[in-house]
Amino acid sequence: MPELPEVETVRRGLEPVVVGRRVLRVSVLSHRPLRRQAEGERAFSDWLTGARITSVQRRGKYLWWWLADTQRPALVAHLGMSGQFRTGTSQDGFGPHERVRFELDDGAVLSFVDQRTFGWVLADTAVGDVPASVEHIARDPFDERFDLRGAAARMRSRRTGVKRALLDQTLVSGIGNIYADEALWRAKMHPSHATDSLSRSAATAVLGAAAEVMAAALQAGGTSFDPLYVHVNGESGWFSRDLAVYGREGEPCRRCGRAILREAFANRSSYRCPGCQPLPARAR
DNA sequence: ACGAGCTCCTGCTTGC
DNA sequence: TGCAAGCAGGAGCTCG
C-alpha cells in the first residue's frame, strides 16, 4: 500500500534511471491505467514518444515526470494500492500485471506493473508548478513549503473525525490508512476524535506525528510487508517491523501493554490501543 | 460547500 | 475439497 514514504522511495529509484533520457517507444498493454486519459491511448503514446524526461517530482502520493519536446509537459502516475514501477532491459518480463511499458533511449525499459489496477498514468498539462491532475492535492509534510500551522487550522475547521481528516488529501497529502493509524497512536488520539474539538496544539501534534512516522519509514526504505510493494529494482522495503498498531490486532501495545484493537472504519480497518487512545467525549 | 458513502479491481484468506 | 464471501484500500464520484 504505497503512501508517501513508499512513493518517495520509488521517486528516488526512478530519478537516476529516467532523468535526461528520451522515450523511444510506449506500449500500452492494458486499457485500465489509461482510463483518465480522455484523449485516448493513441494520444498518450504519441505525446510520450520522443519526449525527454527532465525531472521526477512528487506531491503526496502523486508522482510525475516533467517532459520536454512534447505537447504534454507531464507524465503523472498514481500507484493506487498495488502499482509499481520496475526497471530492466527489453529482455525482462514483469509478469501478468504489466500494464504500460516505456522504452528509453539508452536501452532501459521502465514498466508500470499493477495487480489491482487502482493505479493510473496520464499525459497531462501543467497548472503553475504542478500537473493539472495534482492541482487539488495539498502540500505534504515533506514539502519545504508545507504549512503545519495552516494545515492544523484547516483541520480544526472541519466537522469530521481526525482520522478522516488525516486521510483527506486536499487537507494534507501523503497519509494513507497505515500512517494515519501510526500517527494517531503516537499522538495518543482516538481516530474518531472530533476535529472541531481539537486544541491547536493537539491538531499540530497529530500532524507532526504523521510527519515523524513517515520520515522514519522513508529512512527505512518504505513500509512493506506486502509483496505488491517493491522498489524499482524489485527489492522489498522493511519498515513493517516498526509499526506500532497497524496490523497488530490482539498484540500488546508497546506503551501500555493493552491488546491492540481492530475496528471497522469507512469500509476498511482502524487499529488503535484502547488504553492510549480511548474514545473522547466528542467523537465523529 | 462540505461531508459521507459507494465504487472500481484482483488475489489471497477464511468459513461453511 | 470446493466454492463463495470477506478483505485489502486510494481517490473520484455522487448524493444529501
Active-site residue, A249 included: no
Q: CA–CA distance from A258 to each of A261, A275, A277 (Å)?
A: 9, 6, 11
User: Which single residue has its CA nearest the C1' atom of nucleotide B6?
Assistant: A267
Q: What is the pTM of this model?
A: 0.93
Class of domain A4-134: alpha beta
The nucleotide lying nearest A247 (C-alpha to C1') is: C8
Which stretch of DSSP H or E encloses residue A271?
strand A268-272
As beta bridge partners, residue A101 has A27, A111
The packing angle between helices A200-219 and A177-186, to 10°, is 120
Can you tell me the distance from the alpha carbon of A203 to that of A60, in angstroms, rounded to the nearest whole number? Answer: 19
| A121-133 pLDDT per residue, tens | 999 999 999 999 9
Strand nucleotide closest to residue A170 (CA to C1'): C11
Which residue type is seen at A131? Answer: P
Fold of A148-283: Helicase, Ruva Protein; domain 3 (1.10.8)
**Model pLDDT, residue A174:** 94
Candidates A21, A58, A59, A61; catalytic one:
A61
Yes or no: say if A143 and A57 are a contact pair by the CB < 8 Å rule: no
Domain ranges in chain A are: 4-134, 148-283
pLDDT score of A231: 55
Q: Say what the pLDDT of residue A222 is.
A: 56
For residue A232, pLDDT beyond 70? no
Give the three-state DSSP class for A165. Answer: helix
Backbone angles phi, psi at A128, to 5 degrees: 65, -130
Q: Active site includes A268?
A: yes
A61 is catalytic: yes
| Position A227 confidence tier, pLDDT thresholds 50, 70, 90 | very low
Nearest 5°: the CA angle A251, A253, A258 is 80
A73 as an active site residue: the answer is no
Q: Note the pLDDT tens digit of each residue in A87-99.
A: 888 888 888 899 9
Burial A57-90 (b: 16+ CB within 10 A, else e): bbbbbbbbbbbeebebbbbbbbbbbbbbbbbeee
Q: How many CB atoms lie within 10 A of CB A261?
A: 17
CB A55 within 8 A of CB A66: yes
